Amino acid sequence: MKKNIAEDKKSQAVRSKVAIAACPSYSPGELKTALAEVLEAMGGLSSLVKPGQTILLKPNLFSAHPPEQAVTTDPELVRQVILLCENAGAGKIWVGDSPVGSQDEKELWAITGMETAVFGTSAELKSWHVRQKTLSCGDDILAVPEWYDKVDVLISLPKLKTHCLTTVTCGLKNVYGIVSGQAKIQFHMKYPSPLTMSAFLVRVFAELKPHLTIADAVTAMEGNGPAHGRPLPVGVLLASRDSVALDAVGCMALKIQPSKVPMIRFAVERNLGSMDDSMIDCVGSGVSRLETVRMKPSLSRFLKYLPEPLFRLSTILWKLRPKIMEKQCIKCGDCIITCPKNTIKKHKRGDYPHVMQRNCIACFCCMESCPQGAIALQLYFGSLFCVAQKRRRKLNK
């Protein structure tokens, strides 16, 4: 009897739809066709965007990398969505994101191709270097631009990538970019482990939930994402009003169960979306293509399996830490500015930055902010015996 009641409730639950369109390249023609397909499956853009409304397009502008490196949302996709919003009669179309740290916005827009994306359209690139307002998010306070209150419709345009802390980054994590970049540094310090950061990101998503998510997986990123992995041709666009379901479907490319990704699992526990494939309708010309893809995960993927106390203990036994690759480093200092623990230093003026391993919390903000990909992951082994020896030597001094 109990089983029948559970089955009845499941059958009555709202199903989620994820549209997946084949899109072999970023050519305007192929993007137009793919966008038309996924948006039709969502009921058409006109069902969401009304004449005169203010629309915020939120691409992933993670850091100042050119489009071919697959770190950020492709500018041609952003441009095509702008044109569709114009056709729907949008009053204002804003485009923007706040990367971690304090990157120069004009440089960011130029290198990522966003200046090209908005050129000749009515869209405006929005700055985060403006007066901020605060939003309550559980026990945390988020800082977002004051102009965010004027946004009527939020369309999220993430990039499908692997991630060294959260396993995957796509729809759920993309809205975190609405939070001020400087504020994000402190949250990385407060929530250093994959589990605590994932739980925090889900709370942020609940506050800033988008109306529609269109994910760029024409070229995704595998390996040590989100900034220094390898571009991988996947050849699809994904769209859904349920970002949780979209991320769960994106896990298909990683060949992992969505329930193994803490961020997705926590979002489902808060009833923010679906991850059960029996409750998700996947439709479109790109479904079979996504099923054949295999993205390689990050080296640090196993960190998510560690409970918080064990995670802290593991940092004593072994350390997965960033290392400055001097041959690639240009001494720009972005990693020093971004580090929430101030653990990256230059011993002398003109020296290469150096990671002070003892204070590092493995948040990988430095890797995320480095424009040259000059920071790699390195595994340092240690033991409780070694720690005891160090403490003994200190006492003897």
Average of per-residue pLDDT across 132-159: 96
Question: Which residues make Cβ contacts (< 8 Å) with residue 200, sequence separation at least 6?
Answer: 140, 187, 190, 191
Residue 384: the pLDDT is 39
Confidence band of 390 (pLDDT split at 50, 70, 90): very low
DSSP secondary structure letter of residue 352: P
Of the two residues 56 and 1, the one the predictor is more confident about is 56
Average of per-residue pLDDT across 130-139: 94
Average of per-residue pLDDT across 193-211: 94
Confidence band of 383 (pLDDT split at 50, 70, 90): very low
Residue 302: the pLDDT is 55
DSSP secondary structure letter of residue 164: T
Whether the pLDDT of residue 395 is over 60: the answer is no
Are 279 and 258 in contact by the 8 Å Cβ rule? The answer is no
Average of per-residue pLDDT across 65-83: 97
Of the two residues 116 and 332, the one the predictor is more confident about is 116
Are 140 and 158 in contact by the 8 Å Cβ rule? The answer is no
Residue 309: the pLDDT is 58
Torsion sign over Cα 72, 77, 79, 84: negative
Whether the pLDDT of residue 95 is over 50: the answer is yes
Question: Which residues make Cβ contacts (< 8 Å) with residue 158, sequence separation at least 6?
Answer: 59, 60, 73, 169, 170, 171, 173, 174, 213, 215, 216
Residues of the chain with CATH 3.30.70.20: 306-396
Distance CA 105, CA 111 (A): 10
Assign 17 to helix, strand or coil.
strand
Q: Which two tokens stand for residue 324?
A: 């400055």
Residues of the chain with CATH 3.40.50: 13-292
Of the two residues 100 and 19, the one the predictor is more confident about is 19
Residue 299: the pLDDT is 65
Of the two residues 313 and 222, the one the predictor is more confident about is 222
If you search the block for the tokens 């908005």, which residue do you land on?
A: 118
Confidence band of 372 (pLDDT split at 50, 70, 90): confident
Whether the pLDDT of residue 15 is over 90: the answer is yes
Segments in the chain forming alpha helices (H): 2-12, 28-41, 75-87, 105-112, 114-118, 171-174, 181-190, 194-207, 243-254, 262-269, 287-292, 308-317, 334-338, 365-369, 384-396
Residue 385: the pLDDT is 38
Average of per-residue pLDDT across 160-183: 92
The pTM of this model reads 0.86
Architecture of the 306-396 domain: 2-Layer Sandwich (3.30)
Average of per-residue pLDDT across 323-337: 89
Supply the CATH classification number for the domain 13-292. Answer: 3.40.50
Q: Which amino acid is at 323?
A: K
Average of per-residue pLDDT across 285-296: 96
Residue 20: the pLDDT is 98
Residue 320: the pLDDT is 65
